[in-house]
Structure formats: C-alpha cells, structure tokens
Chains A and B, each alone.
Chain A
Amino acid sequence: MPTTNQEIKRVARQLFASSRAYVTPFYNRVASKQEMKSLFADRSPLLGGAVLISAPMGTGKTFFIDQMAALLGLEGRAKPLLVGEVDERDLQQAKGEVLFVDEGDIKTTWADLDRGIALIGQHLRNSQRVSLILGDYTLRNPNLLRHLPKHRFLQTFEPLDRPFLQGVLQQRIREYLKRRPEEIIEPALYDILVPDGAAHVNSFRAILTFLESLVRTLPGDRQPCWLTVELAKRYVQDSFDPTLTTDRQENFLNRFLDYLAEHHPRGADLEQGFDQAEMLLIGGPAGYGDWAEFREEIIDPFGLQGLLLSRGIPGLDADGRFVRWPGPYYPSLMLTLMAEG
C-alpha cells in the first residue's frame, strides 16, 4: 500500500529532521567510520596534531562525530569548543584525550578563525593531545593550516548523492511509519535535489528543509504521497520572494535563471560549476563590469542566502578581505527549480 499524504505529513518532522533536536537513526558513512577507526586505532602518530573534517555546512559532520563519540573518547557531555570563541582557559579545561572543536567555517570572522586555530595549534604543541576539528572548506586554507603542527584530513567523508538521500529517507520511513518504504519522490525530482555534478556542495539541511516545506503544502488526505518536479516548481514559484535591492541584481537574477534553463536544465552538466569569468559573463549584460562590484552585490548576498553554492576554499584576498564564497559556483535548489518555471 502506498504511503499517503496524511502519513507523511504526520511524520514530516522526524522524516526530514536535519538537526540534533530530534534523534534520527544514522545511515551510511561506512567508509568514513572505517577510516576514523583506522586513524584512531593507534593515536601515537596523531598526538600533538589535528584531524580535520572539511565539508559544506549541513552535511552531517557533527552528527557523524556523535556516532563516533565512544571511539574517540568523547563520551559524556562532549560539547565541542567553537573555533571562533575558543580561548586558552577553554582549552586547558577541556576534558578527554581528544579536543573536539566545531564551526571552523564562514560563520566566523577571519580574524577569529585565525586566532582560534592558532590557539588550538599552540595548545596541541604543548599538550600533545589530539584535536578533531570540523568545518567547511575554509579549513583547507593553507593560512589556517600553517598554525596546526600536524594535520590530516578525513578523506572519505561521503558526499550527498542520490543513493545516500534515498537511503536516508527509506530508513526513516521504515523507522517512523513502521512499514516497508515506498518511494515518495519522483525520479526527476531526485535529479534536481541531488544533481550528480554537485554532490560536493549538496547539503542535507537544505534538501530536507525544502522537502519538509514541500510536504506542508500537501493536503492531509489519504492519496498516495508523490513529490514531483511540478509540485516542487509550483511551491518555489509561490514561495520564492527575495528582496532585491537594486535593478542590477534583478536583471542578473533573471538572466541567470534564463541561462540555467537554457544550458543546464534541471541542474544538469554542472560538474565544474561556474567560474568567476562565466559568472561575470552572465552578469555583464545586467550591468556588472567589475568583479569587486559583482561580488559585493551578487556573490556575497546570494551566497549568504544560500542561493549560490560555492566549492572554493574561503580565505583572504589580496586586499585582506575575507572571501567567503570563492568559485566555482553552483545554483541552489531554489534557483534550479525557479529556472524550470
């Protein structure tokens, strides 16, 4: 028997949970678990250094570490320190063999990132403890890494692709509806939710939040639940309402949507993303001739609002400005769906 709208609406909160507010079962990351086990089986080479997990925000890094807590000796009240707020006293008082630090990411100012990582590096040198640091691609910036005496990245943090998302949803349907999972998402919608080419920028938080919002629009009836591209398009057209501040921004948005519709329907063929030159090429006719201006009006605000995704390594530019969204760029789920309209 297919899963009904009424059933999915009832369990939407659990089914599409993407924060620690609800304990959901863990899925996948078998290779990452194995790599962590191997790394921490003999800690001696790690002493005085850091293991870094660097992946976009909302991809389940903290959830993953929760799963590995026992292995890492993070049992009990293992609340991570935050890169942007850490001070020497915190580091001295942190318990356990492994120093757990989170939020090495663009939500923090560069000055605080630099200060925090430097403090951690110094503490590791003196204490010969091991640190586990989570963050986005900012952690890959050599100017931060130079503060860490020894560091290595977790290599196998599985990107969010279609089988991963499908598996998570099926597991949760089985868990919360106590039944054999029936597919509730049209294959074509999967193509847009988790385009193959953008697996490295896809985030659970963005996709699951979107699906929860989409499910809210369904009637609470006993019709089979079937989430389609059409339904998603309608939802986005009804709800996408960015407050644009200049005519140029509006012009650019329209041109970018046209460009996506024509060249990358349903987010296809975007493996390389858009580089700076391509973005400026689309922005030129909208009135942008200068990258600094374009970045100020388009890249940064669009990046901040999650409309543009970035796969580059954030860092300081030649003028000492923190570039939080360096190329290559990818359109967000909302933009991809808007382009479909």
Chain B
Amino acid sequence: MLGLTNTSIPEAWRGHLLFALLTDAENINDRLFKRQAIEKLLRAPELRDQGLSRDDILLRVEEFGGLRPRNRLWELLASIPLLEEREGRYCLRATLPLTAFPAAGRRLPKSLGAVAWTLAEIDGLFFPVVDTLWTVRNLGEAIYKGYGWLLWTADHARDPANQLEAMPAFWQCQGGEDAPLGFVRAITGIGDALGALADSHYFPHSIERAKNAPGPALDSLLRWLLACRAEPDAPPGWDEAARNWHRGGFWPFDDQPEAVYPTVDATWDAVLALGSVHDQYDRLATSYGPFHCPRSAVGEALLDGIEFLLRTQLPAGGWGIYRYPGDQPPVPAHEFTTGQTLLALRLVLLSEVFEERERPELRAAVEAALRRAWAFLRERAVNFQGRQVWLPFFGDRVEDYASRDILRASVWTGAGLLALYRGLPDLRGAIAPRLADLLDLANIHWEPDYRRIAEFEFRVPLDERLHDNFGKWSNRYDVTLAIFLLDLFNEGRSGDGGLPVEFGPGLWRRLERTIGEILREQHPEHGHWNEPVAGMPLAAATAMAMQVLQHYLIAARHLIG
C-alpha cells in the first residue's frame, strides 16, 4: 500500500526554503552572484512599475558579474524566477509560486502545489527589519563606549609622539588601534568632540562614568578649539577691515579645505561647544580637573563667535557658508547652515555670558537675529502636499526635488525652527503648526534606509567668490531625522503643552529600527561610529549617534510617564 505523508511547509521554514531555491546554482560563486543579483532586482523600482529591458537589467548586475560572459549572466538571472516578461520588458512577479522553480520537481505533492511567496515576503527575506530588541543597559553601554572613543582620540592627539597639531577629521580603523588620517586639524574633530563631551551632562548618561579620565582631553580640546579662531591666526595680508569682519570666526581647516576665510559652519560648531563649556566651566573643572584656559577667555571667544554669526546673517535673514562684505558677491542661504546657526544662537540665549561680560546689548541683538530668521523662514516656506516645507538652498520650485530631498531640507531647517520655538515664546503659536507639518512630512515620506546619505554640499569661500567646486559632508539621513524627531517629541512632552506631537506606532517602529541600526554599526570594541560614505571613524558621526540614543532615553521616560 502506498504510504501517504501529509506534506506541508512549516511557517518557520518558508524563508529558508525560498532562499535556497532562489540562490540554487552549480557552484558557490554563482550562488553568491545570484544572491547579489536578487538584491539588485528587488531594489530596482522600475521592475515594480514599467519594467526594464534585458540590456538594462544586465547593466545593473554586470558590475559584480566578474568575468562571466553576458549570456551566462542572463542564464543565471533567468534561473531566478523572480522576473516575468511583458512585451519585451521584465517586471517582478507579484507572487512567486513554488512551481516556478524547476528544482521543485515534477513529483511535487499536491499539497505543495499552492505554496507561493508574495513580493512583500521576498523583500522581508532579503531586507530583514533589524532586530529592535535592546535594553536600556545596551543603550547606556553604547553611549559610554562612544564617549570613551572620543576621549581616546583626544588623548591620542595630545601625545607628542603622534605628531598631530590637534584632532583631525578622520581616523582609520584597520584592525588593532585606530590611527589618525591626515595631519590637518578639523573643526568637526575638535568642536564636535568637545561639544559632545561637555553636553553629556545635559543627558541621562554623562562622561562621569567614562573609563578614560576626561580632564586632560577636555582641556586640550578647548585649547585646540580656541586656536582655530580666525583673529589670532589671521593671514598677514588682512587689513583692519578684513580683521574686523572676520573677528570671532573660526577656521574649518580640513573640513572645508581651501576656504580662505573663516566659515559660518565652522563658527556655529565652535559656538555650540564653547557655550556648553562656558556654562558648565566650574562643574567640569571641579569634576575633571582645571582648564588652562580661564573662563573669561572662553566667554570672550564665545561672544566674538556670536558676533561673527550675527555679522554673517544674510540680508534676507538666513545663513550661508560665508558672507562677503557688502554682499559682493551674494551667497545663497543654506538650510543646514541656517538651522544649525539658529540652534547655536538659541542655546547661547540660555547663557549668562552676556551679563557676566557686560554685553546685554548683544543678547538683544541675538534675539533680533532670531526674529529676522523666523521672518525669513516664513517667507521661504513653500507648499508641498498641503504642508509648509523648505527646499534645498531655500528654493521655490517644489517640482524640482524628490520628496526625500524636501524632507531632508525641511528637517535641517526644522532643527532651527525648534530652536526658535524654544527661544521665542511669543512666536510659539505661529511656529507650532509648522513643526506639526514637518512631523506629518516625516510620517508620510520617511522610509528608513540606514545606508542613505544626507549630503551637505558647500562651496568654500575663496578670495572674491565661492569655489566653483562643491565639497560635501555626509551624514546618515536616518540619524539626522531621528535626532530631530526625538528632540521634537521630547519638547512636546516636556514643554508647556503648546506643541501637541503625537507619534504613531509606525513612526516609533521606524525610529527604533534606526536605533537598532545605530547599535549594530558601532564598533564593538573601539566604540566609534563611521562617516557613511568612506566608512572612516568620525567624531561627528559618533556624536550624532550618541545624541539619538540619549534623546531616545529621555523619550522613553516620557513614554513611561
């Protein structure tokens, strides 16, 4: 008698079986190729829409096809039954039945004849959602490791044997100890590290518990930062007018190489760090050891920096990388520069430096600059799907940009908008709806992809005009969004109640997925995070990742209630 077996595929095996079938090949090289090709096909939006020609598909896979002839590449692709032909073009199948695989065999039991996978299941198999299981302890450990790495880099740069004038921008991690890349100091290396370390006391986890003693590092970072000021290091050719115009500005050095003038971006970075050190000077000195630089000198440098930022505010109210005297030539305002400058200026309003240094009129000037900036942002906002948003370089043609670029520009602007909301209570009623628009925008258009880059493109100031070439800083798009959204959420929960922000489960899932990716990216021993394009350890990326984790811990408290 013929024994019949009830054949079915347990749920837990479906993914394994599909993976094995899709990547089935004669040898390991072909299996690896098919694995890469499937990912490429699933990532091609055209294959879910109008389809692609054979040539188009081959062009996309041949870069990793090695020395395989084209007909062999097509043979391998054809053996992946993901594609179906429609009038000479190829599209992804909506569902993939088991029977589409020749390997399923002709004696397929009837019970398996109906087995099929949807495209969503296939996507899930190849782009699994990162495990979002972690504990508060995991987050704390990651933050401490990050602080540890920043302190280690400062200690390394202080050691005369390493021949560094100060912190460089990039490091290389090639096994063993990290090594600096380049000799030239960078404002992000110095300013971001100092800012992150000094700011730690405003967050749940501070540098108090870091392994390395923070005192010498903080002292050196402050000294290096002050040495980046334009005025003491002015080129010999500058006349009195040039000195006055640039007083208080900071040199970017390796971050914006070829800049012949101090830049706004270098200066807001420095002002953020100096403000933090100034306001906590006694606390930091008592906890970690004295600074060689007196508090009064920090205060003076801070005020000079603020004045430079006020001087370089463009006539319309935003900020660009630089402002030429008399606006000749004019420089365009940039949403990242504007947002970060507003953040820096709003934070200094919390400081007592103006009164201590007997400059109360400067406090009033900062407030006036913030109001001018609000008028500028209001004027440059454009309508996109019924919401007020901002475009790259504060442009006005929504149709010129993809939604992800609009979201990036709006979130960069949003950092400044949130600062204005906090700093100018009388404008909160007007600003809150704009922040709500940005939250909606993120809700609709943010699709996490940890590899996506938020590029800040800049043209450094040369003698008489901006450089023709664009340079760029690259941050992680998702990290940029997470910082803004979590900060917004925390403001909504801890503020005066005028900012009603509600995050749905979908948005939390995206944020938590990003946090999972952040935890996964951190170097398990060194503790650094990397610049996303070249993958080099970087202070800015480390500071940003830690900021997300710290903001999330604050958010968690609010969620617990």
Contacts and interface: CB of A to CB of B under 8 A. Distances in A.
B460 interface: yes
B6 interface: no
The majority secondary structure among interface residues of chain A is: helix
Contact of B68 (A9, A11, A245): A245
Nearest to B332: A76
A20 B468 CA distance: 12
Q: Select the residue from B71, B182, B392 with max chain A CB neighbours within 10 A.
A: B182
A38 interface: no
Contacts of A25: 258
A216 B179 CA distance: 12
Nearest to A301: B67
A93 B472 contact: no
Q: Select the residue from B68, B392, B534 with max chain A CB neighbours within 10 A.
A: B68
A21 B534 contact: yes
B51 interface: no
Nearest to A293: B69
Interface string A1-43: 0000001011111100000111101000000000000000000
Contact of A107 (B53, B59, B174, B536): B59
A243 B67 contact: yes
A293 B534 CA distance: 39
A62 to B, nearest CB: 10
A66 B70 contact: no
B369 to A, nearest CB: 26
Given A75-B468, A76-B332, A302-B67, A23 B258 contact: yes
Contacts of A13: 170, 181-182, 534, 536
Interface string A215-249: 01000100000000000000000000011110001
Nearest to B472: A21
A209 to B, nearest CB: 13
Contacts of B257: 23
A265 B465 CA distance: 49
A164 interface: no
Interface in B422-470: 457, 460, 465, 467-470
B53 A176 contact: no
Contacts of A244: 67
B468 A67 contact: yes
Interface residues of A, number: 47
A318 interface: no
A112 B56 CA distance: 9
A7 B69 contact: no
B314 to A, nearest CB: 15
Contacts of B352: none
A301 B182 contact: no
A322 interface: yes
A86 interface: no
B180 A245 contact: no
B471 interface: yes
B182 A176 contact: yes
Interface string B46-74: 00000001011001001101111111100
Nearest to A24: B257
A25 B460 CA distance: 13
Contacts of B392: 77
B66 A243 contact: yes
B393 interface: yes
Contact of B465 (A70, A108, A177, A296): A70
B281 interface: no
Contact of B183 (A10, A297, A305): A10
Contact of A77 (B71, B182, B393, B469): B393
A286 B182 CA distance: 48
Interface of B: 29, 53, 55-56, 59, 62-63, 65-72, 170, 174, 179-184, 257-258, 332, 392-393, 397, 399-400, 457, 460, 465, 467-472, 474, 533-534, 536
